[in-house]
Structure 1
Amino acid sequence: MTTSTASTDRTANGPQADGSRATGIAMMLGSALSNQLGAATGALAFPAIGPAGVVAVRQWVAAVVLLAAGRPRVRRFTWSQWWPVLLLALVFATMNLSLYTAVSRVGLGLAVTLEFLGPLTVALAASRHRADLVCALVAGAGVVSLLRPRPTTDYLGLGLGLTAAACWAAYILLNRLIGARLPGTEGPGAAAALSGLLYLPVGAVVFTHHALTARALACATAAGLLSSVVPFLVDMLALRRVPTQFFGVFMSVHPVMAALVGLVVLDQRLPLADWLAIAAVVAANTASALTSARRA
């Protein structure tokens, strides 16, 4: 999902900049909504096949689509190209399972907010500016609030959310490396295919013990389409219409969208303190992205 920053900036500054940016914003909002609706739809299948079963189907759907889109020529891969692809496949497999299991334990809004710390940490770690240190402290305060002990604290669920965050950070760093070593989307396509293969034995075990009903299959497939396929395609098109930094700011909408979708679709209600903590994490990312854009 990478495009040329130069071409993006030319599009953003051209004579049709306003219309193009408005279209880009609509695409990004649609992508975020699709992503979180997919996660919520997948959660509806948890009672039948559990998070592992949902993730298995989602990985297979993503593998088929990304493999077709990337068309990786794996026989030509060198070891320097293979090892980050192998690591990315493991990240794919771990990230989605940890996130979906966290969703089943602590809810969609809280799980996605914790996962969101991954890209925020990558962005802040690369900076040496005082403003970004303040953003890091604000985000840290939000996380401490989210992790605060309470009678019903699910530490495993919180830990899995943070695991998903670490995986998302690794996903960003590995994609940068793969993008420099492989053309187009060959790397993600190969990684998605390998991740799908890893979930074949997982799916076999899950579906041996849990009947794969038509409703569960439909929900899990929808999760793959809405949370993997749609964002992949729409984000790629959106990046042609808005500057990369502007796109980064709009990443902040994901935790908010997740909390709202969790409330509407799954009836997962968060206390006011959690909403304030989510707002702190989102504000930290937005401020960091905006100050970075001014320095660019």
Structure 2
Amino acid sequence: MPAPALFVLSGLTQYLGAAIAVALFAWIAPAGMAWLRILVAALVLVAWRRPWRLRWTGRDLALAVAFGAALGLMNVMFYIAIDHLPLGTAVAIEFLGPVAVAAITGSGWRERAGIALAAVGVVLLAGVTLSLGGEDAHLGLLAILAAAACWAGYILLGRRVATTGDGVTRLGVAMAAGSLVLAPFVGRLGAPVLGSWSLAAAVVGVAVLSSVIPYALEQVVLRRVSAASFAVLLALLPATAALVGAVVLRQWPHPVDVLGLVLVSGAIALTSVRRRPALDEAAGA
């Protein structure tokens, strides 16, 4: 299958998982759903990669815990956000995190233009959301901005994890650590799955669709496309999320939303050209 088709499939599975999660919020609180997703994905990755075969130092474990905590909090904030915001809007605003990292760590015209485009796009998206969503949208916007900040931290920590080798295995350990760190705070919110096999199966489906499949597919794509091509593909993700939101959740975008999505996508393409993220996007929302 061509790399672009694989990447589109990755985005569709990732946001289809998020759409299913939204449908489950009637039974499981968003924070609990996010925690369960991380826990299940961690179990799958740990069973698959068997991290005990690697040699771990104290520094490696500390980095994995910090990485996992950032990952876990990012997902919790994202799930809280999509309980109050359209899926496409939430994904676009969350990309402010990686765009900001690229702008801060870079020094070229692409980075400066990218952060300007992203800022305008986010303002448009937030303005429409506040005008149409009322008080309920404020919590969603705060949550997605927190998720964007966590994504920025996740990228910076993820790059350090990736340089130590075997990023997939270390991601599994990080996910396990993140689920343990968050368990005292949100673990009890996932309790409804204990009394329902159907809910438990749906949660497993969300974890596989949103974390395991996208990560595996993106690793294949990263080996087969140039950095410039990957940047263009990455820019498709907000539109992919908006498409899934419209088809599955009936969240039809406002015309101004479409303009905001286009601006954010342009910012992603500009700021991603010079980097090929191994972990930047894999376990994101």
Letter in 1 for 2:17: G
User: What do residues 16-47 of structure 1 show as CA deviations (whole Å, max 9, x unaligned)?
Assistant: xxxxxx71111111101111111101111000
Letter in 1 for 2:14: N
Q: Tell whether the 8 Å contact from 1:63 to 1:192 is kept in structure 2 after alignment.
A: yes
In structure 1, distance between residues paired with 2:171 and 2:190: 27
CA shift digits 1:122-170 (9 cap, x unpaired): 2222221224312221111111122225261522211111111111121
Q: Is the 8 A contact 2:193 2:199 kept in 1?
A: no
Residue in structure 1 matching 2:263, options 280, 283, 288: 280
Show structure 2 runs of 5+ residues with no match.
276-285
For residues 162 and 64 of structure 1, the distance between their equivalents in structure 2, rounded to whole angstroms, comes to 28
| Structure 1 range deviating more: 22-31 or 64-73 | 64-73
Q: Is 1:193 matched up with 2:176?
A: yes
Q: Given that residues 161 and 167 in structure 2 are in contact (C-alpha distance below 8 angstroms), is that contact kept between their aligned partners in structure 1?
A: no
Instruction: Give the structure-2-normalised TM-score.
Output: 0.86
Equivalent in the alignment of 1:243 = 226
Going from structure 1 to structure 2, the CA distance change for 1:77 and 1:210 (only over 3 Å counts) comes to closer
- Residue 27, structure 1, aligned to residue 10, structure 2: no
1:150 pairs with 2:160: no
How far has the Cα of 1:268 moved from its partner? 1.5
What is the distance in 1 between the residues matched to 2:187 and 2:269?
42
Contact kept, 8 Å, 1:253 with 1:282, in 2: the verdict is yes
Deviation sequence 1:209-239 (CA, Å, 0-9, x none):
7875444333322110101010111111112
Q: CA deviation at 1:202?
A: 5.5
- Structure 1 residues 70 and 121: CA distance shift in structure 2, 3 A: farther
Write the distance in 2 (CA, Å) between the matches of 1:201 and 1:144. 35
Give the corresponding residue for 1:81: 60
CA distance in 2, matches of 1:218, 1:275: 35
Separation in 1, partners of 2:154, 2:48: 19
Aligned length: 271
1:53 aligns with 2:32: yes
Matches within 5 A, 1:4-43: 23-43=2-22
Name the counterpart of 1:92. 71
**Whole-Å separation in 2 of the counterparts to 1:243 and 1:35:** 22
In 2 relative to 1, CA 119–208 (structure 1 residues): closer, same or farther, beyond 3 Å?
closer
**Which amino acid is the alignment partner of residue 137 of structure 1?**
A
> For the Cα contact (< 8 Å) 2:35–2:187, is it kept in 1?
no
Distance 1:23 1:185 in 2: 23
User: Is 1:217 the equivalent of 2:200?
Assistant: yes
- SS of 1:147's equivalent? helix
Once the two structures are TM-superposed, the CA of residue 177 in structure 1 deviates from its matched residue by 0.6
Aligned twin of 2:102: 123
Question: Partner residue of 1:262?
Answer: 245
**Alpha-carbon contact 1:108-1:259 (below 8 Å) kept:** yes
Q: Residue 44 of structure 1 is aligned with which of 1, 7, 23?
A: 23
1:47 aligns to what SS in structure 2? coil
Q: Shift of the alpha carbon at 1:251?
A: 1.2
Distance in structure 2 (CA, Å) of the matches to 1:275 and 1:65: 36
Per the alignment, in what secondary structure is the counterpart of residue 113 of structure 1?
Answer: helix
Q: In structure 1, what residue type is equivalent to 2:80?
A: T
State which of 113, 130, 144 in structure 2 corresponds to 1:161: 144
**Residue pair 1:69, 1:185 contacting (<8 A) in 2 also:** no
CA displacement at 1:187 relative to structure 2: 2.1
| Higher Cα Rg, which structure | 1
**8 A Cα contact 2:92 2:264, kept in partner:** yes
- Contact 2:27 / 2:192 at 8 angstroms: preserved in 1? no
Distance 1:132 1:271, change over 3 A: same
TM-aligned CA deviation for residue 48 of structure 1: 0.9
2:221 alignment partner AA: A
**Is the Cα–Cα contact under 8 Å of residues 245 and 251 in structure 2 kept in the other structure?**
yes
State, as a whole percentage, how many aligned pairs show the same letter: 33
CA deviation vs aligned residue, 1:39-72 (integer Å, no higher than 9, x gap): 1011110001121232232112211122134322
Three-state SS of the structure 2 residue aligned to 1:242 is coil
3-state secondary structure, aligned to 2:154: helix
1:73 deviates by 3.2
